[in-house]
Amino acid sequence: MTAVYSFALGTGTQNSKGEWLEVFYPSPQLGASQKVIDILKSVLWYAGGNEVLAATQEQMRVLAEQFSVAGEGDLAKTAMKLSASRQPLVATVLINDEKPTTAPEVYLKLHLLSHRLVKPHTTTLDGMFGLLLNVAWTNEGAIDINELAERQLQARVEGRLLEVMSVDKFPKMANYVVPKGVRIAHTARVRLGAYLGEGTTIMHEGFVNFNAGTEGTAMIEGRISAGVFVGESSDLGGGCSTMGTLSGGNAVVISVGKECLIGANAGIGIPLGDRCTVEAGLYITAGSIVQLIDADGKLADKVKARDLAGKSDLLFRRNSINGAIEVLTNKSAIELNHELHAHN
């Protein structure tokens, strides 16, 4: 019996050298039955381990037929639909959650995150940047940067405009998956690999990077950097920032607990516990000196913000007289306006 971490059938785009630019997996899944593995061995000569298997249209049709006979109805439907694709076809098998070695493996893991099959920090993505090419994302799909000029000229000669929406290693999530129960005002600001919990609203200035996102209901008008996970019923105000592992957080995993509020233009460089509030405009780094204010409003101690990492029920504010950062017990947790943020 072969244990399988993840399996998916997909179609994607390659450059003129046959290198993968992107892969779309309509129905990625965790695990796969032994019947599926046996069919892959017979049709695509799967030899075991983590492997990316190229498939022809005919092979995909055969897979559909055999999956159907084996009682794998959903896979059969996906394979049959993909068999009509004029783009390259692929079957990706991940026996283990190991460091990816190919772009299709990276794309499968990004899909697992955005399909809510795995949560941020629970799948291995080490070395992924070196496997992804810098791509021009256009109205005609993904184009290798080195081939863009020729494609633009060809389009103009034919009286068309080739519009380039972005130049990046990552596409926007909504072109691959739109999870149930979310609102995204500006889809270009959510990358594939983001995990958006049901009930999340991403406003126009909100941003969510890969391997990051929200546990559930949340209002995001600020930035969720790579690696940052935001708890249920939290609110990130306009222009606020969370320091990610790619932007200064280093080995420290920044997170936001439940029912937190990070005010407009504020920011955090430490993980927050539950029911914490950061005053608008206040940026807290790990080395920030924070004054602890007791129940009588008096100074009790001075610590670095890192010493408060992960602690709940804290209110961070700036003293308007001397400019010192103060922290005291947060007496009123926020409550999102559920009527305003309803998604039905």
* Tens-digit pLDDT profile for residues 173-216: 999 999 999 999 999 999 999 999 999 999 999 999 999 999 99
CATH number for domain 136-168, candidates 3.40.47.40, 3.40.50.1460, 3.40.50.720, 3.30.60.70 = 3.30.60.70
- Least confidently predicted of 8-22, 258-272, 324-338: 324-338
Q: Residues 6 or more apart from 7 whose CB is under 8 A from it?
A: 28, 29, 31, 32, 36, 91, 92, 93, 94
Domains 136-168 and 173-329 belong to one CATH topology? no
Taking alpha carbons only, the member of 208, 213, 166, 167 closest to residue 185 is 208
Q: What is the mean pLDDT of the chain?
A: 93
For 192-201, the pLDDT digits (tens) are 999 999 999 9
Query: If you average pLDDT over residues 119-146, what whole number do you get?
Result: 96
pLDDT of residue 251: 67
Is 221 tagged catalytic? yes
Task: Please identify which of the residues 72, 105, 215, 221 carries the catalytic annotation.
Answer: 221
Instruction: Using pLDDT thresholds of 50, 70 and 90, give the confidence band for residue 341.
Output: very low
Residue 3 confidence (pLDDT):
87
Total-model pTM: 0.92
pLDDT at 339: 42
Cα 296 to Cα 291: distance, rounded to the nearest angstrom: 14
195, containing H or E segment = strand 194-196
CATH number of 6-129: 3.30.70.2010
pLDDT of 338 higher than 70: no
CA angle, corner 68, sides to 63 and 72, nearest 5?
A: 95
Q: What are φ and ψ of residue 339, in 5° steps?
A: -70, -40
- pLDDT band, very low/low/confident/very high, at 331 (cuts 50, 70, 90): low
> For position 137, what pLDDT does the model report?
98
Which pLDDT score is estimated for 233? Answer: 97
Give the residue from 224, 270, 277 showing the smallest Cα distance to 249: 270
Angle between helices 34-44 and 57-69 (to 10 degrees): 150
The per-residue pLDDT for range 101-122, each reduced to its tens digit, is 999 999 999 999 999 999 999 9
- pLDDT single digits (tens) 146-168: 999 999 999 999 999 999 999 99
Question: What does the domain layout of the chain look like in residue ranges?
Answer: 6-129, 136-168, 173-329
Tokens of 289: 């000196």
User: What is the pLDDT, as a whole number, of residue 332?
Assistant: 55
Q: Which residue has the tokens 């999340």?
A: 200
Q: What is the structure's pLDDT at 253?
A: 87
Fold of 173-329: UDP N-Acetylglucosamine Acyltransferase; domain 1 (2.160.10)
